[in-house]
Structure 1
Amino acid sequence: MIRIHTHNEGRSLYIDREREKITHFATQISRAKNVDSYINKLMPIMADSSDSVAIDMDTSSPGGKEHIVETATGSISVAILGDPDKPALITYPDLALNYMSCFQGLFLCPEAFSLLLHNFCIYHISPPGHGHELGAASAMSYDYDDDLALSADDLADQVAEVLDHFGLGAVMCLGVTAGAYVLTLFAIKYTRRVAGLILISPLCKAPSWSEWLSNKVMSNVLYYYGMCGLVKELLLTRYFSKEVRESDMVDSCRRSLDEMQSLDVLRILEALNGRADITEGLKRLQCRCLILVGENSAFHSESVHMASKLDRRFSALVEIGRCGSVVTEEQPEAMLMALEYFLMGYGFYRPMGMELNISPRSPLSPTSISPELYKPESMGLKLKPIKTRLPPGSN
């Protein structure tokens, strides 16, 4: 197991720039004939920005053009970013989030942007009713009833239908908490269609009694009162650690929850609250797996349990210190080194000349981590404990 400890001082991993500029960048990428060339031109501009980028959620779609895919259990939204000729990376967000509110921190981090867009075409799957083009009107068109109920298996099967729709073969998968469960279930059911799993604070067991009861309370409040303050606070507690609860990042997420239709969220919540234990199914996985979990995540113990059930030759567990469940938003830069070495095992690299922009004083810097511990072996990571706390007197 690898432990990464980072500091939250002065943390604002969100872009403080005009949303029009970010939208322009993403739009140009989606239209560019030579994506790599455009990325190389764009990276210096992003690197010169303040440490990160923060944007408010908007009904615009800065992640590429959204496509509506009809599945056997309803319509879902898929936003595509990048060159369709490249290998596919599928993303799936946590409960009540969409690709913008769950992955913008990671994809607007310059180093991750370079690494992922250079190697993949990104297919952001949003759960039913959660996409920008679907969410506004979907909940107005029905009253919740059993006929519209979804199961976790339905959500996994929808992923397979998305792959069929776009003619995709084996894909890389990136999921957060509930999304990690859906993609893991998909990988168990469709083993030949998954090349690798990158799971953030994943779930693999059925809900505990406390989680089940909490979800039932949330379901009832959603049904009768909609996306009210209580529901939003319960969700924010699920996503983030206490250290960042008053940050601009959390305020931005809170505003994005305002835009969610309560009945759409209720459908996904009910599906996840009825999820099965898939621990035994993990033995059937035929792909490499990287698990990253926040030290303060409510699902930390479950993620560690999941890692213990995977074949250690082809899996790794990385703990992110002082972080909640949604690492992609709270500490995306802490993912970079593990992510890069995991992808090296598949022959994926950052573009030449694009180095990780890490401060020499950072716990992630080469002076704090012995390079030999990160040699990519059969699965891209060497499973060895790494102490990354700064030595006394180094401040």
Structure 2
Amino acid sequence: MSTVLDVEQNACTGDAVEHDIETPHGVLHVTMRGTPKGNRPVILTYHDIGLNHKSCFNTLFNFEDMMEITQHFAVVHVDAPGQQEGAPPFPTGVNSVIGIGVGAGAYILTCFALNQPSLVEGLVLINVDPCAEGWIDWAASKLTGWTSNLVDIVMAHHFSTEELTDNQELIQTYRLHIAQDINQDNLALFCGSYNARQDLGIERPVVGLNENTVKTLTCPSLLVVGDTSPAVEAVVECNSRLNPTKTTLLKMADCGGLPQVVQPGKLAEAFKYFVQGMGYSENLRHDRSRTKSGFSRA
């Protein structure tokens, strides 16, 4: 199990091209796979705190069903602002995106969709929290008997109490990754920024009353959360604030805080239906025999 991250981080190479993109707010490390295909949106991902795009998404994107989907789309993975400089120009030809975000990444992509709705055709939001209340104090309160250092707090953000005690191989792998592979100073800044986030201020529209004026997502949205995830209440709250005709809530059974890692097959199948519902990838097949839980090592 200790090799899961290393194996998977080396698997998503192929046609991937890395860019360091300078912005007014810092440098973004961006990995692009494939080229934009006609008028189809690009799949845009943003990882959660304590992870990068590889440790957050490689298991999902290396899964066979998901690889079939991504033959039809270009994929752009965005890493949170890092330390690289001298960025090349951002690749051209991106007209719109389908966003896939986890935790902090889901919050950021939701903000993007609210501010630039014409650029976002759909969102898959895993463990999204629309509220302003900080998770750091909450997480620390769950760490009775622990030394409440940054790594422990981030682990409590990702995993339920049951997972922290019952799934030792998974926990040890991600604890080491967060502690050793992620710059701790940058992680502290990322945590502080996320903890200071504002409430998204989204409301469920009421037909005939405020559907044209209320602040809400206008694109199709798939909300995903494991049934034992620490984010269950936040995701259910987010679902209650969105347009029910455009929103689907997927609560994954026997799953904790990282559904894209623990159950990539089920999530890939759900994503396949999602993009088909948007009118894309009409010829993709649905094979439930490959939706078992587990880690992709291919």
State the TM-score bracket (shorter-chain normalisation): 0.7 to 0.9
Q: Which amino acid aligns with 1:169?
A: N
Could you list the per-position Cα deviations for residues 313-338 of structure 1 after superposition, in whole angstroms to 9, with x for gaps in the alignment? Answer: 11110101122222111222221332
Could you list the per-position Cα deviations for residues 367-391 of structure 1 after superposition, in whole angstroms to 9, with x for gaps in the alignment? Answer: xxxxxxxxxxxxxxxxxxxxxxxxx
Quote the residue 2:27 is aligned against: 75
Q: Which amino acid aligns with 2:7?
A: R
Question: Given the superposition, is the C-alpha separation of residues 18 and 288 from structure 1 closer, same or farther in structure 2, using an over 3 Å criterion?
Answer: closer
**1:261 offset after TM fit, Å?**
1.0
* 2:280 equivalent to 1:358: no
Match of 2:137 among 213, 219, 222: 213
Secondary structure of 2:71 counterpart: helix
Quote the residue 1:105 is aligned against: 59
CA contact (8 A) 2:139 2:153 kept: no
Question: Given the superposition, is the C-alpha separation of residues 316 and 177 from structure 1 closer, same or farther in structure 2, using an over 3 Å criterion?
Answer: same
Quote the residue 1:275 is aligned against: 197
Question: Given the superposition, is the C-alpha separation of residues 74 and 17 from structure 1 closer, same or farther in structure 2, using an over 3 Å criterion?
Answer: closer
Question: Given the superposition, is the C-alpha separation of residues 269 and 119 from structure 1 closer, same or farther in structure 2, using an over 3 Å criterion?
Answer: same
Match of 2:7 among 14, 19, 25: 19
Match of 2:68 among 114, 117, 121: 114
CA contact (8 A) 1:106 1:328 kept: yes
User: As a proportion of its length, which structure holds more helix?
Assistant: 1
Q: Which amino acid aligns with 1:189?
A: N
Question: Given the superposition, is the C-alpha separation of residues 248 and 357 from structure 1 closer, same or farther in structure 2, using an over 3 Å criterion?
Answer: farther
* 2:220 equivalent to 1:232: no
When normalised by structure 1's length, the TM-score is 0.61
How does 1:379-390 map onto structure 2 within 5 Å? none
CA contact (8 A) 2:60 2:260 kept: yes
Distance 2:51 2:5 in 1: 22
Quote the residue 1:250 is aligned against: 171
CA contact (8 A) 1:238 1:297 kept: no
Question: Given the superposition, is the C-alpha separation of residues 253 and 112 from structure 1 closer, same or farther in structure 2, using an over 3 Å criterion?
Answer: same
How does 1:55-204 map onto structure 2 within 5 Å? 64-85=16-37, 87-115=41-69, 117-129=70-82, 134=83, 166-204=92-130
CA contact (8 A) 2:60 2:66 kept: yes
Distance 1:308 1:296 in 2: 19
Percentage of identical aligned residues: 26
Q: Which amino acid aligns with 2:186?
A: D
* 2:232 equivalent to 1:300: yes
Secondary structure of 2:31 counterpart: strand
Q: Which amino acid aligns with 1:264?
A: N
Question: Given the superposition, is the C-alpha separation of residues 359 and 171 from structure 1 closer, same or farther in structure 2, using an over 3 Å criterion?
Answer: closer
Secondary structure of 1:312 counterpart: coil
Distance 1:18 1:125 in 2: 19
Question: Given the superposition, is the C-alpha separation of residues 79 and 286 from structure 1 closer, same or farther in structure 2, using an over 3 Å criterion?
Answer: same
Question: Given the superposition, is the C-alpha separation of residues 285 and 16 from structure 1 closer, same or farther in structure 2, using an over 3 Å criterion?
Answer: closer
Could you list the per-position Cα deviations for residues 319-374 of structure 1 after superposition, in whole angstroms to 9, with x for gaps in the alignment? Answer: 0112222211122222133211111112223766x5525279x79xxxxxxxxxxx
RMSD (Å) for aligned C-alpha atoms: 3.3
Structure 2 unpaired stretches of 5+: 142-146, 205-214, 294-298
Quote the residue 2:210 is aligned against: none
**1:68 offset after TM fit, Å?**
0.1
Distance 1:163 1:181 in 2: 26
Secondary structure of 1:95 counterpart: coil
Q: Which amino acid aligns with 2:63?
A: C
Which protein has the larger Cα radius of gyration, Structure 1 or Structure 2?
A: 1
Structure 1 unpaired stretches of 5+: 1-11, 31-63, 139-161, 218-227, 364-395
Could you list the per-position Cα deviations for residues 215-238 of structure 1 after superposition, in whole angstroms to 9, with x for gaps in the alignment? Answer: 789xxxxxxxxxx99432332232
Secondary structure of 2:18 counterpart: strand
CA contact (8 A) 1:294 1:320 kept: yes
Quote the residue 1:287 is aligned against: 219
Match of 1:317 among 249, 262, 265: 249
